[in-house]
Amino acid sequence: MNGLLELTLGIMTALGGFVDISELVFCLAAGARFGYQLLWVVLVGTIGIAVYGEMSGRIAAVLGKPVFTVVRERLGWNVAAMVLLAATLVNVLTCAAEVGGLAIILQVLGASRYQWMLLAAAGFLLVSVYLLPFRWIERVFGLLGLPLLVYVVAAVAMDPDWGAAARGLLPSAPLPDTPGWALYLYFGVGLLSSILMPYEIYFYSSGGIEEGWTVKDLLVNKLTAGVGFLLGGVLAMALIVVGALAFKPLGIVPEHLTSTLLGAAGPLARAGFAVALVGIFFAVGGAAVETALAAAYNVTQFFELPWGKRKKPAEVPLFTACWMAAIVLGFAIAASGVNPVQIVEYSVFFAVLVLPLTYWPVLRLADDRQAMGKHANAGIIRALGWAYLVLICVVAAAAVPLMVLTHNGQG
């Protein structure tokens, strides 16, 4: 039973990182524009984030080092400081989008003014993180995000063309009835970037240390990374299928979080709507918690100061101040009136610019036999690790030009 509960770390990372507000809307939009054609990007991204997560978790278990300690040691103080600044900016922007998403869900539940719901969402997050121990943060947001599986049920209920979906798992040129190469590449890069968001790994590796992982927990690491991210990948694919079947035939491109709810409500009526509402609330809330804690983990690990939810707030004052500040700043940005989806789209594309500089140090240390001994990368993990480094660098180079060329995906 205890082993099953530990899997909630992977579940929360998947549902709050893989399937957050950006993924919910972005996957539906990709399906609405390109049908099943971008399913292969989710498959590639799922394998990549599982490899990245497994390596970072293995380093945490064997050496007790979280990601930003590795970044500082491998890149040096000056370069790592710039990475820290960029990563913190992305974390705060992402947190702002998630706070805005929670406020939208609260409005759907019947509440009135958006500004008041933003305040309620930020208050809910502050109280939850302050009061709940790390393990219960995992369980509450991870397990209560599981109703998102309703999108898998909805996708199957809509009777997709399974042959076409299977062909979508292989890369292909955009079909004649789709917007063309520029938007195809934009959505491909955006999907891959949102799946490989660095904050997922900051949270995951630090969470392993919060849980007290040792070499005895390497199997737990493999299971949590594998099961958690696989679950996230299945949900992302289901969202693309729902977008392809519910919105593409109508020529509608969903651009709001509420559109996601309509995707589940179509085939499953009110029950689907209600279940999706619960799942989205806790998945988006989980993403907000992850980004806030990730910001705090990064800062305190970089400066080698005490950190962690396993300590009382007064024992880790900077850590506590950082995650609180991330939520408060996120609230302030969301309160400015910017669309939460637009915020997170910018954060997704800017995050991929930082990704090579956090991925490379993890890969190098995981490959280092002198440091890791018999637990160093070997075989398929080593090959995949280096292949994904090349892919990540290509995607990082393409991200900003594609944003400019497509006017942020508008065509």
Indicate if the pLDDT at residue 14 is higher than 60: no
Q: Please check whether residue 375 lies inside any domain of the structure.
A: yes
Q: What radius of gyration do the chain's Cα atoms show? A: 20
- Provide the b/e sequence for 298-318 (b: ≥16 CB within 10 Å): bbbbbeeeebbbeeeeeebee
Q: Please check whether residue 311 lies inside any domain of the structure.
A: yes
Q: What are phi and psi of 305, to 5 degrees?
A: -110, 160
Range of the domain at 227: 9-405
Indicate if the pLDDT at residue 50 is higher than 80: yes
Q: Is the dihedral of CA 103, 104, 108, 111 positive or negative?
A: positive
pLDDT digits (tens, 9 = 90+) for 306-356: 999 999 999 999 999 999 999 999 999 999 988 887 887 888 888 999 999
Q: How many distinct structural domains can be found in the chain?
A: 1
Q: Please check whether residue 4 lies inside any domain of the structure.
A: no
- As a whole number, mean pLDDT of residues 41-50 equals 95
Q: Please check whether residue 411 lies inside any domain of the structure.
A: no
What is the CATH classification number for the domain harbouring 282?
1.20.1740.10
Q: Measured in Å, how far apart are the chain's first and last C-alpha atoms?
A: 50
pLDDT, averaged across the chain:
89
103: CB partners within 8 A, 6+ apart? 114, 117, 118, 120, 121, 334
Q: Please check whether residue 167 lies inside any domain of the structure.
A: yes
pLDDT digits (tens, 9 = 90+) for 98-149: 999 999 999 888 777 888 999 999 999 999 999 999 888 877 887 788 888 8
Q: Please check whether residue 3 lies inside any domain of the structure.
A: no
Q: Please check whether residue 102 lies inside any domain of the structure.
A: yes
Instruction: Determine the pLDDT at residue 214.
Output: 93
Q: Please check whether residue 2 lies inside any domain of the structure.
A: no
